[in-house]
Amino acid sequence: MATSQQPEPTPDAVTATSLPNFLLSVKLKYVKLGYHYLISHGMYLLLTPIIVAVSIHISTLTTRDMVYLWDQLRFNLVTVSLCSALLVFLATLYFMSRPRKVYLVDFSAYKPEDARIVTREIFMDRSTRAGTFTQENLAFQKKILERSGLGQKTYFPEAVLQVPPNPCMAEARKEAEMVMYGAIDDLLAKTGLKAKDIGILIVNCSLFCPTPSLSSMIVNRYKLRGNIMSYNLGGMGCSAGLIAIDLAKQLLQVNPNSYALVVSMENITLNWYFGNNRSMLVSNCLFRMGGAAVLLSNRSSDRRRSKYQLIHTVRTHKGADDRCYNCVFQEEDENKKIGVALSKDLMAVAGEALKTNITTLGPLVLPMSEQLLFFATLVARKVFQMKIKPYIPDFKLAFEHFCIHAGGRAVLDELEKNLDLSDWHMEPSRMTLNRFGNTSSSSLWYELAYSEAKGRIRKGDRAWQIAFGSGFKCNSAVWKALRTINPAKEKNPWTDEIDDFPVHVPKIEKISS
Protein backbone atom coordinates (compact mmCIF):
# COMPACT_ATOMS: atom_id res chain seq x y z
CA MET A 1 0.00 0.00 0.00
CA ALA A 2 1.59 3.23 -1.08
CA THR A 3 1.18 5.45 1.95
CA SER A 4 3.54 7.84 3.68
CA GLN A 5 5.68 6.40 6.46
CA GLN A 6 4.71 7.39 9.99
CA PRO A 7 7.49 8.79 12.20
CA GLU A 8 8.91 6.11 14.48
CA PRO A 9 7.94 6.59 18.15
CA THR A 10 10.36 6.17 21.03
CA PRO A 11 9.25 4.34 24.20
CA ASP A 12 9.03 7.63 26.06
CA ALA A 13 6.94 9.19 23.30
CA VAL A 14 4.52 6.29 23.43
CA THR A 15 4.08 6.44 27.19
CA ALA A 16 4.61 10.07 28.13
CA THR A 17 2.81 12.16 25.51
CA SER A 18 0.00 14.14 27.09
CA LEU A 19 -3.54 14.50 25.90
CA PRO A 20 -4.67 18.07 25.21
CA ASN A 21 -6.70 19.72 27.94
CA PHE A 22 -10.28 18.77 27.10
CA LEU A 23 -11.89 22.02 28.11
CA LEU A 24 -9.49 24.75 27.05
CA SER A 25 -10.80 24.71 23.47
CA VAL A 26 -14.35 23.41 23.78
CA LYS A 27 -16.49 24.34 20.81
CA LEU A 28 -20.03 25.56 21.39
CA LYS A 29 -21.33 23.46 18.50
CA TYR A 30 -20.61 20.26 20.45
CA VAL A 31 -22.50 21.56 23.49
CA LYS A 32 -25.34 22.47 21.14
CA LEU A 33 -25.24 18.95 19.68
CA GLY A 34 -25.62 17.46 23.14
CA TYR A 35 -28.69 19.57 23.85
CA HIS A 36 -30.06 18.63 20.43
CA TYR A 37 -29.78 14.94 21.38
CA LEU A 38 -31.50 15.69 24.68
CA ILE A 39 -34.45 17.46 23.07
CA SER A 40 -34.87 15.13 20.08
CA HIS A 41 -34.86 12.02 22.25
CA GLY A 42 -36.77 13.54 25.15
CA MET A 43 -40.09 14.62 23.61
CA TYR A 44 -41.94 11.99 25.57
CA LEU A 45 -40.59 13.56 28.77
CA LEU A 46 -42.64 16.66 28.01
CA LEU A 47 -45.82 14.63 27.68
CA THR A 48 -45.27 12.67 30.87
CA PRO A 49 -45.82 15.61 33.29
CA ILE A 50 -49.02 16.57 31.43
CA ILE A 51 -50.45 13.06 31.69
CA VAL A 52 -49.42 12.79 35.34
CA ALA A 53 -50.95 16.18 36.18
CA VAL A 54 -54.25 15.27 34.52
CA SER A 55 -54.32 11.90 36.29
CA ILE A 56 -53.68 13.50 39.68
CA HIS A 57 -56.41 16.07 39.09
CA ILE A 58 -58.93 13.40 38.07
CA SER A 59 -58.10 11.36 41.18
CA THR A 60 -59.15 14.29 43.39
CA LEU A 61 -62.67 14.47 41.93
CA THR A 62 -65.53 13.36 44.21
CA THR A 63 -68.64 11.45 43.20
CA ARG A 64 -70.64 14.68 43.15
CA ASP A 65 -68.02 16.24 40.85
CA MET A 66 -68.27 13.29 38.50
CA VAL A 67 -72.09 13.48 38.41
CA TYR A 68 -71.93 17.22 37.73
CA LEU A 69 -69.37 16.70 34.98
CA TRP A 70 -71.54 14.02 33.38
CA ASP A 71 -74.57 16.29 33.46
CA GLN A 72 -72.56 19.00 31.72
CA LEU A 73 -71.15 16.71 29.05
CA ARG A 74 -74.11 14.51 28.15
CA PHE A 75 -75.90 17.44 26.54
CA ASN A 76 -72.83 18.39 24.52
CA LEU A 77 -71.81 15.54 22.22
CA VAL A 78 -69.33 17.68 20.32
CA THR A 79 -67.34 18.53 23.47
CA VAL A 80 -67.27 14.91 24.57
CA SER A 81 -66.10 13.76 21.15
CA LEU A 82 -63.36 16.37 20.94
CA CYS A 83 -62.10 15.61 24.46
CA SER A 84 -62.08 11.89 23.76
CA ALA A 85 -60.27 12.37 20.47
CA LEU A 86 -57.72 14.63 22.16
CA LEU A 87 -57.04 12.07 24.88
CA VAL A 88 -56.65 9.28 22.32
CA PHE A 89 -54.33 11.45 20.22
CA LEU A 90 -52.15 12.41 23.19
CA ALA A 91 -51.96 8.81 24.41
CA THR A 92 -51.07 7.57 20.92
CA LEU A 93 -48.44 10.29 20.48
CA TYR A 94 -46.92 9.45 23.84
CA PHE A 95 -46.61 5.73 23.22
CA MET A 96 -45.45 6.10 19.61
CA SER A 97 -42.78 8.70 20.41
CA ARG A 98 -41.41 6.84 23.41
CA PRO A 99 -38.29 4.84 22.46
CA ARG A 100 -38.21 1.18 23.36
CA LYS A 101 -36.14 0.42 26.41
CA VAL A 102 -33.06 -1.67 25.73
CA TYR A 103 -31.91 -4.04 28.46
CA LEU A 104 -28.61 -5.81 28.90
CA VAL A 105 -29.72 -9.23 30.07
CA ASP A 106 -26.17 -10.46 30.71
CA PHE A 107 -22.69 -10.55 29.18
CA SER A 108 -19.67 -12.83 29.14
CA ALA A 109 -15.97 -12.01 28.73
CA TYR A 110 -13.80 -14.87 27.50
CA LYS A 111 -10.93 -16.15 29.62
CA PRO A 112 -8.43 -18.30 27.64
CA GLU A 113 -6.85 -21.39 29.13
CA ASP A 114 -3.60 -21.11 31.08
CA ALA A 115 -1.61 -22.64 28.22
CA ARG A 116 -2.10 -19.37 26.31
CA ILE A 117 -0.50 -17.19 29.02
CA VAL A 118 2.36 -15.00 27.77
CA THR A 119 4.64 -13.37 30.33
CA ARG A 120 7.02 -10.59 29.39
CA GLU A 121 9.83 -13.14 29.36
CA ILE A 122 7.89 -15.46 27.04
CA PHE A 123 7.06 -12.52 24.78
CA MET A 124 10.71 -11.53 24.47
CA ASP A 125 11.75 -15.16 23.98
CA ARG A 126 9.30 -15.65 21.10
CA SER A 127 10.28 -12.32 19.59
CA THR A 128 13.94 -13.29 19.71
CA ARG A 129 13.29 -16.76 18.27
CA ALA A 130 11.27 -15.32 15.41
CA GLY A 131 14.62 -14.16 14.01
CA THR A 132 13.19 -11.15 12.19
CA PHE A 133 13.81 -8.34 14.70
CA THR A 134 17.05 -6.43 15.10
CA GLN A 135 18.72 -6.24 18.51
CA GLU A 136 17.82 -2.56 18.72
CA ASN A 137 14.14 -3.31 18.10
CA LEU A 138 14.15 -6.19 20.59
CA ALA A 139 15.40 -3.70 23.18
CA PHE A 140 12.74 -1.24 22.01
CA GLN A 141 9.98 -3.82 22.54
CA LYS A 142 11.30 -4.66 25.98
CA LYS A 143 11.11 -1.00 27.02
CA ILE A 144 7.59 -0.71 25.65
CA LEU A 145 6.54 -3.76 27.66
CA GLU A 146 8.04 -2.31 30.85
CA ARG A 147 6.07 0.90 30.39
CA SER A 148 2.88 -0.59 28.98
CA GLY A 149 1.06 -1.46 32.19
CA LEU A 150 0.59 -5.08 31.05
CA GLY A 151 1.17 -7.78 33.65
CA GLN A 152 2.53 -11.31 33.52
CA LYS A 153 -0.68 -13.22 32.75
CA THR A 154 -1.99 -11.87 29.44
CA TYR A 155 -2.81 -14.24 26.57
CA PHE A 156 -1.57 -14.99 23.05
CA PRO A 157 -3.05 -17.46 20.54
CA GLU A 158 -1.29 -20.75 19.98
CA ALA A 159 -0.02 -19.78 16.52
CA VAL A 160 2.01 -16.87 17.91
CA LEU A 161 3.42 -18.87 20.83
CA GLN A 162 4.65 -21.67 18.59
CA VAL A 163 8.33 -21.85 17.61
CA PRO A 164 8.53 -20.83 14.86
CA PRO A 165 5.26 -18.81 14.75
CA ASN A 166 2.58 -20.20 12.46
CA PRO A 167 0.36 -17.31 11.28
CA CYS A 168 -2.10 -18.73 8.73
CA MET A 169 -5.80 -18.60 7.90
CA ALA A 170 -6.54 -21.92 9.59
CA GLU A 171 -4.94 -20.79 12.87
CA ALA A 172 -6.72 -17.43 12.69
CA ARG A 173 -10.06 -19.21 12.32
CA LYS A 174 -9.11 -21.45 15.23
CA GLU A 175 -8.45 -18.41 17.43
CA ALA A 176 -11.71 -16.74 16.35
CA GLU A 177 -13.73 -19.86 17.07
CA MET A 178 -12.10 -20.33 20.45
CA VAL A 179 -12.86 -16.77 21.56
CA MET A 180 -16.33 -16.34 20.04
CA TYR A 181 -17.71 -19.76 20.91
CA GLY A 182 -16.21 -19.64 24.40
CA ALA A 183 -17.90 -16.32 25.17
CA ILE A 184 -21.24 -17.27 23.57
CA ASP A 185 -21.40 -20.70 25.24
CA ASP A 186 -20.89 -19.07 28.63
CA LEU A 187 -23.49 -16.39 27.88
CA LEU A 188 -26.15 -18.88 26.77
CA ALA A 189 -25.48 -20.96 29.89
CA LYS A 190 -25.91 -17.87 32.09
CA THR A 191 -29.14 -16.68 30.51
CA GLY A 192 -30.74 -20.02 29.61
CA LEU A 193 -31.65 -18.54 26.22
CA LYS A 194 -32.18 -20.81 23.26
CA ALA A 195 -30.09 -19.92 20.21
CA LYS A 196 -33.22 -19.94 18.04
CA ASP A 197 -34.61 -17.01 20.05
CA ILE A 198 -31.86 -14.65 18.86
CA GLY A 199 -33.21 -12.35 16.16
CA ILE A 200 -30.25 -9.97 15.70
CA LEU A 201 -26.55 -10.88 15.52
CA ILE A 202 -23.74 -8.32 15.33
CA VAL A 203 -20.07 -9.31 15.29
CA ASN A 204 -17.21 -6.83 15.28
CA CYS A 205 -13.58 -7.73 14.60
CA SER A 206 -11.40 -5.07 13.06
CA LEU A 207 -8.50 -6.91 11.38
CA PHE A 208 -9.81 -10.40 10.57
CA CYS A 209 -12.63 -10.56 8.02
CA PRO A 210 -12.73 -14.05 6.45
CA THR A 211 -15.24 -15.49 4.00
CA PRO A 212 -17.68 -16.80 5.14
CA SER A 213 -17.86 -14.03 7.72
CA LEU A 214 -17.46 -14.38 11.47
CA SER A 215 -21.20 -13.82 11.88
CA SER A 216 -21.85 -16.69 9.45
CA MET A 217 -19.52 -18.90 11.50
CA ILE A 218 -21.72 -18.23 14.54
CA VAL A 219 -24.94 -18.83 12.60
CA ASN A 220 -23.55 -22.16 11.42
CA ARG A 221 -22.25 -23.25 14.81
CA TYR A 222 -25.44 -22.48 16.76
CA LYS A 223 -27.90 -23.17 13.92
CA LEU A 224 -29.52 -19.76 14.27
CA ARG A 225 -32.81 -19.18 12.51
CA GLY A 226 -32.97 -18.41 8.81
CA ASN A 227 -34.47 -14.91 9.12
CA ILE A 228 -31.87 -13.64 11.58
CA MET A 229 -30.53 -10.13 10.91
CA SER A 230 -26.75 -10.60 10.96
CA TYR A 231 -24.06 -7.96 10.61
CA ASN A 232 -20.27 -8.23 10.47
CA LEU A 233 -18.37 -5.02 11.30
CA GLY A 234 -14.74 -4.90 10.16
CA GLY A 235 -11.95 -2.33 10.17
CA MET A 236 -13.57 -0.12 12.82
CA GLY A 237 -10.91 -0.34 15.51
CA CYS A 238 -11.13 -0.63 19.27
CA SER A 239 -14.29 1.47 19.50
CA ALA A 240 -16.28 -0.96 17.33
CA GLY A 241 -17.79 -2.68 20.36
CA LEU A 242 -19.85 0.38 21.25
CA ILE A 243 -20.68 0.91 17.57
CA ALA A 244 -22.14 -2.61 17.61
CA ILE A 245 -24.10 -1.77 20.77
CA ASP A 246 -25.48 1.38 19.13
CA LEU A 247 -26.44 -0.57 15.98
CA ALA A 248 -28.20 -3.18 18.12
CA LYS A 249 -30.05 -0.41 19.93
CA GLN A 250 -31.28 1.08 16.65
CA LEU A 251 -32.42 -2.32 15.39
CA LEU A 252 -34.21 -3.08 18.65
CA GLN A 253 -36.18 0.16 18.26
CA VAL A 254 -37.89 -1.17 15.13
CA ASN A 255 -38.07 -4.89 15.91
CA PRO A 256 -40.35 -5.54 18.91
CA ASN A 257 -39.86 -8.49 21.26
CA SER A 258 -36.36 -9.26 20.00
CA TYR A 259 -33.03 -10.42 21.35
CA ALA A 260 -29.75 -9.05 19.98
CA LEU A 261 -26.43 -10.84 20.41
CA VAL A 262 -23.32 -8.64 20.14
CA VAL A 263 -19.90 -10.31 19.89
CA SER A 264 -16.76 -8.14 20.18
CA MET A 265 -13.25 -9.41 19.61
CA GLU A 266 -9.93 -8.94 17.84
CA ASN A 267 -7.72 -11.50 16.13
CA ILE A 268 -4.00 -11.65 16.87
CA THR A 269 -2.85 -14.61 14.76
CA LEU A 270 -2.60 -12.89 11.37
CA ASN A 271 -1.78 -9.48 12.80
CA TRP A 272 1.46 -9.99 14.69
CA TYR A 273 3.99 -7.79 12.94
CA PHE A 274 7.33 -9.38 11.94
CA GLY A 275 9.08 -6.28 10.61
CA ASN A 276 11.28 -3.57 12.10
CA ASN A 277 9.19 -0.43 11.70
CA ARG A 278 8.91 0.84 15.27
CA SER A 279 5.58 2.56 14.74
CA MET A 280 4.18 -0.91 13.93
CA LEU A 281 6.02 -2.80 16.68
CA VAL A 282 4.09 -0.99 19.42
CA SER A 283 0.93 -2.95 18.56
CA ASN A 284 2.76 -6.24 19.15
CA CYS A 285 3.49 -5.16 22.71
CA LEU A 286 -0.02 -4.00 23.62
CA PHE A 287 -2.64 -6.19 21.95
CA ARG A 288 -3.67 -9.50 23.46
CA MET A 289 -6.22 -12.27 22.93
CA GLY A 290 -9.78 -11.77 24.24
CA GLY A 291 -13.44 -11.24 23.39
CA ALA A 292 -16.91 -10.74 24.82
CA ALA A 293 -20.53 -11.60 24.08
CA VAL A 294 -23.46 -9.38 25.14
CA LEU A 295 -27.18 -10.19 25.10
CA LEU A 296 -29.57 -7.26 24.65
CA SER A 297 -33.38 -7.32 24.76
CA ASN A 298 -36.27 -4.91 24.23
CA ARG A 299 -38.82 -7.19 25.92
CA SER A 300 -40.42 -5.53 28.95
CA SER A 301 -40.66 -8.96 30.57
CA ASP A 302 -36.86 -9.18 30.61
CA ARG A 303 -36.45 -6.13 32.82
CA ARG A 304 -36.66 -8.15 36.03
CA ARG A 305 -33.82 -10.49 35.12
CA SER A 306 -31.63 -7.97 33.26
CA LYS A 307 -28.54 -6.40 34.76
CA TYR A 308 -28.55 -3.00 33.05
CA GLN A 309 -30.59 -0.64 30.93
CA LEU A 310 -28.96 1.23 28.07
CA ILE A 311 -29.55 4.95 28.65
CA HIS A 312 -27.42 6.77 26.06
CA THR A 313 -25.03 6.12 23.20
CA VAL A 314 -22.99 8.98 21.73
CA ARG A 315 -20.72 8.48 18.72
CA THR A 316 -17.98 10.81 17.47
CA HIS A 317 -16.10 10.41 14.17
CA LYS A 318 -13.09 12.57 13.29
CA GLY A 319 -12.31 10.88 9.97
CA ALA A 320 -12.83 14.07 7.96
CA ASP A 321 -9.54 15.35 9.36
CA ASP A 322 -6.53 13.82 7.55
CA ARG A 323 -4.37 13.78 10.67
CA CYS A 324 -7.06 11.87 12.58
CA TYR A 325 -7.67 9.51 9.67
CA ASN A 326 -3.99 8.58 9.31
CA CYS A 327 -2.97 8.26 12.97
CA VAL A 328 -3.77 4.50 13.12
CA PHE A 329 -3.11 2.96 9.73
CA GLN A 330 -2.71 -0.60 8.48
CA GLU A 331 -0.13 -0.71 5.72
CA GLU A 332 2.98 -2.43 4.40
CA ASP A 333 6.42 -1.40 5.58
CA GLU A 334 9.43 -0.95 3.31
CA ASN A 335 9.87 -4.75 3.24
CA LYS A 336 6.22 -5.42 2.31
CA LYS A 337 5.34 -6.74 5.77
CA ILE A 338 1.88 -5.72 6.93
CA GLY A 339 1.37 -3.99 10.26
CA VAL A 340 -0.63 -1.30 12.01
CA ALA A 341 1.32 1.96 12.28
CA LEU A 342 0.68 4.26 15.23
CA SER A 343 1.44 7.91 14.64
CA LYS A 344 3.04 10.26 17.17
CA ASP A 345 -0.14 12.31 16.82
CA LEU A 346 -2.24 9.50 18.32
CA MET A 347 -2.52 10.96 21.82
CA ALA A 348 -3.43 14.42 20.57
CA VAL A 349 -5.99 13.01 18.15
CA ALA A 350 -7.49 10.81 20.87
CA GLY A 351 -7.75 13.84 23.12
CA GLU A 352 -9.63 15.86 20.52
CA ALA A 353 -12.07 13.02 19.85
CA LEU A 354 -12.62 12.40 23.55
CA LYS A 355 -13.18 16.10 24.16
CA THR A 356 -15.82 16.27 21.44
CA ASN A 357 -17.58 13.16 22.69
CA ILE A 358 -17.56 14.24 26.32
CA THR A 359 -18.82 17.72 25.46
CA THR A 360 -21.71 16.22 23.51
CA LEU A 361 -22.51 13.72 26.25
CA GLY A 362 -22.37 16.27 29.08
CA PRO A 363 -25.84 17.84 28.61
CA LEU A 364 -27.40 14.37 28.60
CA VAL A 365 -25.93 13.17 31.89
CA LEU A 366 -24.64 16.01 34.04
CA PRO A 367 -26.78 17.49 36.84
CA MET A 368 -28.34 20.84 36.00
CA SER A 369 -26.08 22.63 38.50
CA GLU A 370 -22.97 21.37 36.68
CA GLN A 371 -24.42 22.25 33.29
CA LEU A 372 -25.23 25.82 34.33
CA LEU A 373 -21.76 26.42 35.74
CA PHE A 374 -20.07 24.90 32.72
CA PHE A 375 -22.28 26.70 30.20
CA ALA A 376 -21.99 30.06 31.96
CA THR A 377 -18.18 29.98 31.98
CA LEU A 378 -18.10 28.68 28.41
CA VAL A 379 -20.29 31.53 27.14
CA ALA A 380 -18.26 34.06 29.13
CA ARG A 381 -15.04 32.80 27.52
CA LYS A 382 -16.30 32.26 23.98
CA VAL A 383 -18.85 35.03 23.55
CA PHE A 384 -17.71 37.79 25.91
CA GLN A 385 -13.99 36.96 25.65
CA MET A 386 -13.61 37.06 29.42
CA LYS A 387 -10.29 35.77 30.74
CA ILE A 388 -11.58 33.34 33.33
CA LYS A 389 -10.55 29.81 34.16
CA PRO A 390 -12.72 27.22 32.36
CA TYR A 391 -15.02 25.22 34.62
CA ILE A 392 -14.39 21.49 34.46
CA PRO A 393 -17.64 19.57 35.12
CA ASP A 394 -17.46 16.85 37.72
CA PHE A 395 -18.44 13.70 35.83
CA LYS A 396 -18.29 11.79 39.11
CA LEU A 397 -21.68 13.38 39.86
CA ALA A 398 -23.09 11.73 36.72
CA PHE A 399 -21.48 8.28 36.99
CA GLU A 400 -20.53 5.88 39.73
CA HIS A 401 -18.40 3.65 37.50
CA PHE A 402 -15.99 4.40 34.64
CA CYS A 403 -14.99 1.81 32.03
CA ILE A 404 -12.33 3.47 29.89
CA HIS A 405 -10.84 1.44 27.05
CA ALA A 406 -7.63 -0.15 28.29
CA GLY A 407 -5.62 0.87 25.24
CA GLY A 408 -2.45 1.73 27.13
CA ARG A 409 -1.18 3.23 30.35
CA ALA A 410 -0.46 6.69 28.94
CA VAL A 411 -4.06 7.27 27.85
CA LEU A 412 -5.41 6.07 31.19
CA ASP A 413 -3.03 8.36 33.08
CA GLU A 414 -4.06 11.39 31.07
CA LEU A 415 -7.77 10.66 31.32
CA GLU A 416 -7.47 10.25 35.07
CA LYS A 417 -5.88 13.69 35.27
CA ASN A 418 -8.18 15.48 32.83
CA LEU A 419 -11.41 14.08 34.30
CA ASP A 420 -10.14 14.38 37.87
CA LEU A 421 -10.83 10.71 38.61
CA SER A 422 -9.58 8.79 41.61
CA ASP A 423 -7.54 5.59 41.67
CA TRP A 424 -10.76 3.79 42.64
CA HIS A 425 -12.50 4.97 39.49
CA MET A 426 -9.55 4.02 37.29
CA GLU A 427 -8.99 0.65 38.93
CA PRO A 428 -11.16 -1.46 36.57
CA SER A 429 -9.35 -0.08 33.51
CA ARG A 430 -5.86 -0.36 34.97
CA MET A 431 -6.39 -3.88 36.30
CA THR A 432 -7.89 -5.01 32.98
CA LEU A 433 -4.84 -3.67 31.16
CA ASN A 434 -2.60 -5.43 33.66
CA ARG A 435 -4.40 -8.79 33.64
CA PHE A 436 -5.65 -9.12 30.05
CA GLY A 437 -3.79 -6.43 28.09
CA ASN A 438 -5.41 -4.44 25.31
CA THR A 439 -8.15 -6.80 24.08
CA SER A 440 -9.43 -4.11 21.70
CA SER A 441 -13.21 -3.60 21.63
CA SER A 442 -13.90 -6.22 24.30
CA SER A 443 -11.82 -4.52 27.03
CA LEU A 444 -14.84 -2.54 28.28
CA TRP A 445 -16.61 -5.75 29.26
CA TYR A 446 -13.62 -7.08 31.22
CA GLU A 447 -13.70 -3.76 33.08
CA LEU A 448 -17.41 -3.95 33.88
CA ALA A 449 -16.92 -7.58 34.95
CA TYR A 450 -14.18 -6.38 37.32
CA SER A 451 -16.56 -3.96 39.02
CA GLU A 452 -19.14 -6.74 39.34
CA ALA A 453 -16.61 -9.17 40.81
CA LYS A 454 -15.60 -6.52 43.36
CA GLY A 455 -19.25 -6.16 44.45
CA ARG A 456 -19.34 -2.49 43.47
CA ILE A 457 -22.46 -2.49 41.28
CA ARG A 458 -25.57 -1.34 43.18
CA LYS A 459 -29.09 -0.87 41.91
CA GLY A 460 -29.41 2.55 40.28
CA ASP A 461 -25.66 2.97 39.68
CA ARG A 462 -24.63 4.48 36.35
CA ALA A 463 -21.67 3.14 34.38
CA TRP A 464 -19.91 5.03 31.59
CA GLN A 465 -18.15 3.03 28.89
CA ILE A 466 -15.91 5.05 26.61
CA ALA A 467 -13.74 3.70 23.79
CA PHE A 468 -11.74 5.09 20.91
CA GLY A 469 -10.24 3.58 17.80
CA SER A 470 -8.92 4.05 14.29
CA GLY A 471 -10.72 6.32 11.92
CA PHE A 472 -10.53 8.25 14.30
CA LYS A 473 -13.57 7.46 16.46
CA CYS A 474 -14.65 7.92 20.06
CA ASN A 475 -17.86 6.36 21.35
CA SER A 476 -19.71 6.34 24.67
CA ALA A 477 -22.41 4.19 26.24
CA VAL A 478 -24.21 4.89 29.50
CA TRP A 479 -25.77 2.03 31.47
CA LYS A 480 -28.00 2.05 34.55
CA ALA A 481 -27.88 -0.92 36.92
CA LEU A 482 -31.33 -2.47 37.35
CA ARG A 483 -30.30 -4.55 40.34
CA THR A 484 -27.46 -4.99 42.78
CA ILE A 485 -24.95 -7.50 41.44
CA ASN A 486 -24.02 -10.15 43.98
CA PRO A 487 -20.50 -11.34 43.12
CA ALA A 488 -21.06 -14.60 44.99
CA LYS A 489 -23.71 -15.54 42.41
CA GLU A 490 -21.78 -14.34 39.37
CA LYS A 491 -19.15 -16.12 37.32
CA ASN A 492 -16.79 -14.06 35.16
CA PRO A 493 -13.07 -14.01 34.25
CA TRP A 494 -12.19 -12.35 37.56
CA THR A 495 -14.13 -14.63 39.89
CA ASP A 496 -11.33 -17.01 40.88
CA GLU A 497 -8.68 -14.33 41.35
CA ILE A 498 -10.47 -11.08 42.23
CA ASP A 499 -8.94 -11.09 45.74
CA ASP A 500 -5.50 -10.70 44.14
CA PHE A 501 -6.48 -7.30 42.75
CA PRO A 502 -5.75 -4.45 42.69
CA VAL A 503 -2.06 -5.02 42.14
CA HIS A 504 0.59 -2.36 42.43
CA VAL A 505 1.75 -0.99 39.08
CA PRO A 506 4.95 1.11 39.33
CA LYS A 507 4.89 4.62 37.96
CA ILE A 508 6.47 5.09 34.54
CA GLU A 509 9.16 7.42 35.79
CA LYS A 510 10.39 4.80 38.29
CA ILE A 511 11.20 2.25 35.61
CA SER A 512 14.76 2.34 34.40
CA SER A 513 15.39 2.87 30.72
Q: Clarify whether 405 is annotated catalytic.
A: yes
> Which is catalytic among the residues 438, 474, 475, 492?
438
Q: Which amino acid is at 191?
A: T
Give the list of residues 6+ apart from residue 230 with CB closer than 8 angstroms, or none: 200, 201, 202, 203, 213, 215, 216, 218, 219, 224
- Identify the active-site residue in 21, 137, 166, 317: 317
The catalytically annotated residue of 204, 205, 327, 401 is 401
Catalytic residue among 205, 238, 403, 474: 238
DSSP code string of 366-431: S-HHHHHHHHHHHHHHHTS----PPP---GGGT-SEEEE--S-HHHHHHHHHHTT--HHHHHHHHH
Residue 386: count other Cβ atoms within 10 Å of its Cβ.
Answer: 10
Is 317 marked active-site?
yes
Cβ–Cβ < 8 Å for 155, 113: no
Contact between 162 and 175 (Cβ < 8 Å): no
Phi, psi of 312 (to 5 degrees): -145, 150
Cα–Cα distance list, 81 to 70, 84, 278 (Å)? 13, 5, 76
Angle CA(396)–CA(402)–CA(408) in degrees, nearest 5?
Answer: 125
For residue 278, the surrounding DSSP H or E stretch is helix 278-286
80-106: b (≥16 Cβ within 10 Å) or e: eeeeeeeeeeeeeebeeeeebbbbbbb
Compute how many other C-beta atoms are within 10 angstroms of the C-beta atom of residue 250.
12
Active site residue 238: yes
Nearest CA-CA partner of 290 in 53, 71, 118: 118
Active-site residues, by number, are 238, 317, 401, 405, 438
